[in-house]
Amino acid sequence: MRAPSQVLQLDEHVSARISLPHGPGWLRLLALTVAHSGDSLLWLGVAAAALIWGDFLWRSLGWRIVAATLCTGLATAGLKRLFRRRRPPNDTRGLYLHADRYAFPSCHAGRTACLALLAAPLLSGWALALPPLWVVAVGLARVSLGLHFLSDIVAGWLAGVLVGLLLLSLF
């Protein structure tokens, strides 16, 4: 069994290997787009549109989005305050450094995992495969941009799944 410091060193090493070089490029632009597809303001906007203009199915999805966004936000923010793990050293993270300097667990990873879990009962067939792929893509994009370590993402996914399972019992 590895000592906790060795596990953290391995996490930092693997995360650095996934990280993309700074500067312009199509891969970095793709990572930014995918990473921000998990933003809470985007999803709250989707929820508002679904609640205002949607039929019963869309309104149900809207309420699920609101619940997932608020509950995972509260859970992960509380855990971040408890653990206080700093984000990876990165000169380009801008807003994240000022708005949320802690990384563990990732709010985006938690939110996307919870959203995918809550959306699953509303999906069928091949559409069921898309949310898990999106969850993984958002998480890896955030590591590749140097916003999180890989363990932040995995912990966020775990938190999101736990919150999602709790919320599923309410829907």
- Give, for all 171 residues of the chain, the pLDDT tens digit: 566 678 888 878 888 788 877 777 888 889 899 999 999 999 999 999 999 998 998 999 999 999 999 999 999 999 999 988 888 876 555 555 556 778 899 999 999 999 999 999 888 899 999 999 999 999 999 999 989 999 999 999 999 999 999 999 887
User: Do 108 and 156 meet the contact criterion of CB atoms below 8 Å apart?
Assistant: yes
Q: Is the dihedral of CA 52, 54, 55, 58 positive or negative?
A: negative
**Domain housing 45:** 4-168
At 68, which amino acid appears?
A
The Cβ of residue 13 has, within 10 Å, a number of other Cβ atoms equal to 11
Q: How many structural domains are present in the chain? A: 1
Contacts of 113 (CB under 8 A, 6+ apart): 72, 135, 156, 157, 158, 159, 160, 161, 164
Helix (H) or strand (E) holding 24: none
102: which strand partners? 86
